[in-house]
Structure 1
Amino acid sequence: MTSRIKVLSDDLISKIAAGEVVERPASVIKELVENSIDAGATRIKIIVVNGGKTMMQVIDNGSGMTEDESLLALERHATSKISSYADLVGVMSLGFRGEALPSIASVSRFELLSSVKDAETGTKITVAGGSIRSVVPSEAIPGTSVTIKNLFYATPARRKFLKSPPVEYRHILEAVKRFALGRPEIAFEFYNGDKKVFQTKKSDLLERIGETFHRSYIPNLMEVTGSGRTLKLTGYVGDPKLIRKSRGEQYLYLNGRYISDRKMSSAVYKGYGDLVSRGEFPFFVINLLVDPQLVDVNVHPAKMEAKFKNEWDVYEAIKTTVHDTVHIGSDAMIDSFQPMYEQQTADIEESRAHHNSKIIQFMPSRTIPPAAELNNMTSFAETDIVEKDNGFSPAVETYKSAFPELQSEPGQPEGLVWQVHNKYIISQVKSGLSIIDQHVAHERILYEKALNLLEKGGGQSQQLLFPQKIELSPEDYSVLLEILAFMNKIGFEITEFGERTILVQAVPADIKAGTEGKVLAEIIDNFRETSGKEVPAHKALAASFACKAAVKAGEKLTQEEMISLIERLFLTEYPYYCPHGRPVIVNLTIDELDKRFERK
């Protein structure tokens, strides 16, 4: 009987191993840059084309390899990093498994150029789908250059699962940023095609953060230094001005290796305490220096996870150090909140005084006036937006006829709806009480409006008196370029204006002039969080715009504005849920109220 169990071929073994090591183009960049760092490189250049699908190249000035070493490096489990179990237990190099190069070469068209210091010639090796095609002498170069073309061409099933080039590019960008922040002593160059994304010089961590993100980050950083029984930690954490609504600017390192550890990251959040709320994420770059004998980084082939022997000691050290750092200047940090609060209050008051387009749009019978007209408005009474008639505006009369069940009972106050804590709108209905969240109600209205504009165009804009020049981080700039055409359809007028810089000339009428920078940052954050989750790009953008442009909790609305908001809500296709799935309306029946008061 023929055995059903067979020994797999080396080629198939390599392709299976590649599935663990090479998940996407960013995985390739990660493995190649780790090799460059382990080779002692002080300069590393990374080039990607078409999100890494077409070509990736990593060039370094490290120690290089001889011809024999280059060929051995393409064998599975061949490495210069370790030679015994004792080496594995105390490993400090980023790579050590000897799987990366053969795994990458097995699923791509691979070219390696390398030479050692003072050599007269180098070595050039070409590989296709795991098979070595040629080994020839080449000119001597200072270090090693690895070029990858047509990733996953040999495994089409894997290639079709790759995301769009912009999405894959952002994953690569994030991988490069992790190395740049973790190794400030190394100079990095990063190119997307022929366009330079960023270039850093050898520096300290503070300067590197400014180079990688933006120099405006530097004044808002606090240095972290501390220690525990088994570790030391260094780095920087951001003040409240660097708190964002999405993850992405949190970097945790273990002995210079970037790690993904939810428990240790939560220790940082705990250290901030009440300074951050749920759904907010502070900026931090923290490096943990731990005896390698007390950690295990050989948990997964990606080497981004670690196990700590004294896990809770590490957790407490991080939490305590961050807490002490951010609370030493707690008075100053509270002061930094005060201008933000005062500005928000001023914005609301200005909104009430000048009637920006967001409030005016609540009135369905009125088109949005031009920006110049808005500046001349001082109160509803001075415009023809609301005409009083028998104590009610036309909007109220329309509302009464459309929703007769909401009319006041005889002897009750004239008001049809009430606002509670400037957040919820409450109205009596025949069955009890109806409670509406004003923010998510307006969000649903703006979402469906934005979807319509993205399909047909023609969004109304208000021109800015002084166009705003805004410089973005590389990742934010990449996201904006991806959604720029959509943004212009809904009323923005944005053009590229140099490296990582945009010029905002107009904003949608629903957005208050002067807040365009903040709104853009929030839309980008929200889009980054929602895109790629089986949500079409245009719907993700519409949801992001609606969330950030909608009337906020805390804004006081007049009776007419509340009624108009409800009218517009019930003209939408799905009035009961916001684009993110949160309920818009909660009903409390008389029976439920009676039970709460123990009448039944």
Structure 2
Amino acid sequence: MADIIKLLPDHVANQIAAGEVVQRPASVVKELLENAIDAGATLVKLIVKDGGKALIQVVDNGLGMSETDARLSFERHATSKISSAQDLFNLQTKGFRGEALASIAAIAHVDMQTRVEGSEIGTHIKIEGSKIITQEAVATPKGTSISVKNLFFNIPARRNFLKSNQVELRHITDEFHRVALVHPNIEFHFYNNGSEIFNLPRAKHRQRISHVFGNKMTDRLVPVEEETEVVKISGFICKPEFAKKSRGEQFFFANSRFIKSPYLHHSVIAAFEGLIKKELYPGYFLYLEVDPSSIDINIHPTKTEVKFDDENTIYAILRSTIKHSLGQFNVAPALDFEHDPNLDTPYAYKEKGVVLPKVTVDTAFNPFQETAERKTSTSTYQKASAKGWENLFEGADASVNTEDFSSVEIESDDAVQGTFYSETESDAQAGMTFQLRRKFIVSTIKSGMLVIHQNRAHERVLFEKFLGEITVKEGVSQQLLFPLELSFSKQELIILKEIKESLNNVGFAFESLEQETVKVTGVPLIVSESGIGTVLDQLIANYKEGFEGNSISQAELLAKELAKNLAVKSGEVLDSESQLALVNDLFGCKEPSLSPFQKLTYTTISEGDIDKKFS
């Protein structure tokens, strides 16, 4: 039998490896940013075009590479980080396997310029699909600049699976956050299609978080600090009242590397037990430092999943540390039966000295002695009011003829009722409904009884209303007398700009979306002024999680989220007119039987089913 096993060519092997390392443009951004940090850069620039599909460029002022190193960096498993298997258990750098640049070069056009300090000229290399096109000397600043163009140009199937530019940009922004948050000592710049999105100067961790997520985060953070023999924990958690229904501001870093750990996430949730609802997620930025030999970061190609030697101990320490911080900064409620709050000194008076109170007494005051001013005002009022009193009773007849009222008739209640309802009309025919348990609306029909879920029914009504307004662009806006100022992070502003047109169609109006502080000048009629901030926050968070990438999905998703946030909730009391209006609106919908989330909105109980209960 002939031999059938053979070695794959390098360019094919690199494309296979690229499938593990490069899943989307954000994967390239992650690898290039980590390489820049490993090179000791203090300034890193990220430049992106068309969601990373057309261009991803990372420029740093790090060590740079010599001509030989620049050529070897694109070979498979060529690395300067490790030299033996033992080094895998003492890793201090981001990358170490040496497959990133080789994988990227196999599926894109790569252009690299690099120069080491002390060298007069640098190296310029062009690669297309693992094939080196040119390598020449060039004048370039110290450091490295790598441009990745036309990602997946030779794998059309992979390129077709990429999402829209906005979605890919959002994934790139997430990777940028993960790198920038753990390296506040490095200055970062992020440009998209020629416009600057982030300009992050060197700062401390708390300031870096505020620069990334907006100034509103400053007052929400509670510091966390603990050091043990097993792990050193630092960072911040968000106060319980700012927990959200969607994930987004949850970050774990182990030895300056972003990680995903559902197990440790559960420890944070356990620490917040009793302070937030089960469906909410608290925000946190936690930095863990452990012995490099006690952690395995090589169990996944993306290196975001790690394995700790003693996860149970870290879980317990982390939960206790967060609980301690919540109690130390008076975030968690506590009971102290020995404490009397009446004896507390107000904060404004803690530093003030003791001052005896002074009482001023007017010894010349006599309440029984009228002054000249009081006498004058009293007499003037009396004269003015008494003048012309005789004219008040002119034309009045002292005798009143009571017979004039004998023909007056009082209208009875029965006559008034007869104006609206006929004597033969039943309550059901008059549209009578009642509310059950503040959750259901019950009404009678010819075949029996109708039970409507008020929350789901209203969601269906609002969903079709908002969907029609977004597509037809006929939403009614209620202008605010005083514009409302709301703060958003730069990533939230990106999403807000993306959905601005759809929001305008349903009635929202914005003055400007260029700064972190956004002025809202108009809202839909159904949105109260006090709920504008909550509605927009939930809308942005849920849109980020669920958007699939086409205009129809965008319209449907926005309509769903608006309906979910603005619909009548279970537990709200509705008057009879509102109940009847909801019933009529529901059966005027195209799909009255299901809510936008495919749940039953109503059910009917036939007269036969009721009779069976009594048989």
TM-score using structure 1 length? 0.83
Question: Structure 2: which amino acid aligns with 1:549?
Answer: L
Q: Compare CA radii of gyration and give the structure with the larger one.
A: 2
In structure 2, what is the equivalent of residue 525 of structure 1?
541
**CA apart distance, 1:53:** 0.7
In structure 2, what is the equivalent of residue 96 of structure 1?
96
Aligned sequence identity (%): 37
Taking structure 1 as reference, are residues 19 and 219 closer, same or farther at Cα in structure 2, changes over 3 Å only?
Answer: same
CA distance in 2, matches of 1:134, 1:286: 45
**CA apart distance, 1:474:** 1.8
**CA apart distance, 1:563:** 2.0
In structure 2, what is the equivalent of residue 353 of structure 1?
none
Taking structure 1 as reference, are residues 392 and 470 closer, same or farther at Cα in structure 2, changes over 3 Å only?
Answer: farther
| Structure 1 portions without partners, runs of 5+ | 335-387, 408-415
Taking structure 1 as reference, are residues 431 and 302 closer, same or farther at Cα in structure 2, changes over 3 Å only?
Answer: farther
In structure 2, what is the equivalent of residue 133 of structure 1?
133
What secondary structure sits across from 2:272 in the alignment?
helix
TM-score using structure 2 length? 0.81
In structure 2, what is the equivalent of residue 452 of structure 1?
468
What is the correspondence of 1:101-116 to structure 2 with a 5 Å cutoff?
Answer: 101-116=101-116
Query: Are 1:240 and 1:333, in contact at CA under 8 Å, matched by a contact in 2?
Result: no
Equivalenced residue count is 532
What is the correspondence of 1:32-43 to structure 2 with a 5 Å cutoff?
Answer: 32-43=32-43
Indicate whether 1:540 and 2:554 are aligned: no
In structure 1, what is the equivalent of residue 360 of structure 2?
none
Taking structure 1 as reference, are residues 537 and 63 closer, same or farther at Cα in structure 2, changes over 3 Å only?
Answer: same
- More off after superposition, 240-249 vs 532-541: 532-541
**CA apart distance, 1:222:** 0.4
Indicate whether 1:212 and 2:228 are aligned: no
2:587 to 542, 546, 570: 570
**CA apart distance, 1:67:** 0.8
CA distance in 2, matches of 1:530, 1:399: 45
Indicate whether 1:29 and 2:29 are aligned: yes
CA distance in 2, matches of 1:219, 1:512: 25
Q: Deviations over 1:1-26 (max 9, x none)?
A: 54433321110000010011000010
CA distance in 2, matches of 1:47, 1:491: 35
Indicate whether 1:173 and 2:190 are aligned: no
In structure 1, what is the equivalent of residue 57 of structure 2?
57
1:512 to 524, 528, 542: 528
- More off after superposition, 547-556 vs 90-99: 547-556
Question: Structure 2: which amino acid aligns with 1:156?
Answer: P
The two structures, once aligned, show a CA RMSD in angstroms of 2.8
Q: Deviations over 1:29-64 (max 9, x none)?
A: 000011111111111111101111111111111111
Q: Deviations over 1:531-580 (max 9, x none)?
A: 12898111111101111122233432112212211221122122232212
CA distance in 2, matches of 1:96, 1:593: 72
What is the correspondence of 1:243-392 to structure 2 with a 5 Å cutoff?
Answer: 243-330=243-330
CA distance in 1, matches of 2:235, 2:454: 42
Indicate whether 1:440 and 2:449 are aligned: no
In structure 2, what is the equivalent of residue 487 of structure 1?
503
CA distance in 2, matches of 1:508, 1:168: 31
Question: Structure 2: which amino acid aligns with 1:224?
Answer: V
What secondary structure sits across from 2:287 in the alignment?
strand
What secondary structure sits across from 1:23 in the alignment?
coil
**CA apart distance, 1:504:** 2.0
**CA apart distance, 1:594:** 11
In structure 2, what is the equivalent of residue 185 of structure 1?
185
CA distance in 1, matches of 2:204, 2:288: 16
What secondary structure sits across from 2:274 in the alignment?
helix
**CA apart distance, 1:138:** 1.3
CA distance in 2, matches of 1:399, 1:120: 95
Taking structure 1 as reference, are residues 160 and 429 closer, same or farther at Cα in structure 2, changes over 3 Å only?
Answer: same
Indicate whether 1:585 and 2:580 are aligned: no
What secondary structure sits across from 1:285 in the alignment?
strand
CA distance in 1, matches of 2:566, 2:427: 25
CA distance in 2, matches of 1:45, 1:7: 39
What secondary structure sits across from 1:132 in the alignment?
strand
Query: Are 1:417 and 1:563, in contact at CA under 8 Å, matched by a contact in 2?
Result: no
**CA apart distance, 1:101:** 0.4
**CA apart distance, 1:294:** 1.1
Taking structure 1 as reference, are residues 228 and 585 closer, same or farther at Cα in structure 2, changes over 3 Å only?
Answer: farther
| Structure 2 portions without partners, runs of 5+ | 335-415
Query: Are 2:275 and 2:332, in contact at CA under 8 Å, matched by a contact in 1?
Result: no
Indicate whether 1:120 and 2:112 are aligned: no
CA distance in 1, matches of 2:215, 2:604: 50
Taking structure 1 as reference, are residues 482 and 213 closer, same or farther at Cα in structure 2, changes over 3 Å only?
Answer: same
What secondary structure sits across from 1:253 in the alignment?
strand
**CA apart distance, 1:591:** 9.9
Taking structure 1 as reference, are residues 329 and 431 closer, same or farther at Cα in structure 2, changes over 3 Å only?
Answer: farther
What secondary structure sits across from 2:574 in the alignment?
coil
In structure 1, what is the equivalent of residue 224 of structure 2?
224
Question: Structure 1: which amino acid aligns with 2:580?
Answer: I
CA distance in 1, matches of 2:120, 2:49: 31
CA distance in 2, matches of 1:540, 1:393: 44
Q: Deviations over 1:86-141 (max 9, x none)?
A: 11012121111101001111111101111111211111111011111111111141
In structure 1, what is the equivalent of residue 46 of structure 2?
46
Indicate whether 1:559 and 2:576 are aligned: yes
In structure 1, what is the equivalent of residue 366 of structure 2?
none
Taking structure 1 as reference, are residues 228 and 452 closer, same or farther at Cα in structure 2, changes over 3 Å only?
Answer: same
**CA apart distance, 1:586:** 5.6
Query: Are 1:222 and 1:236, in contact at CA under 8 Å, matched by a contact in 2?
Result: yes
What secondary structure sits across from 1:567 in the alignment?
helix
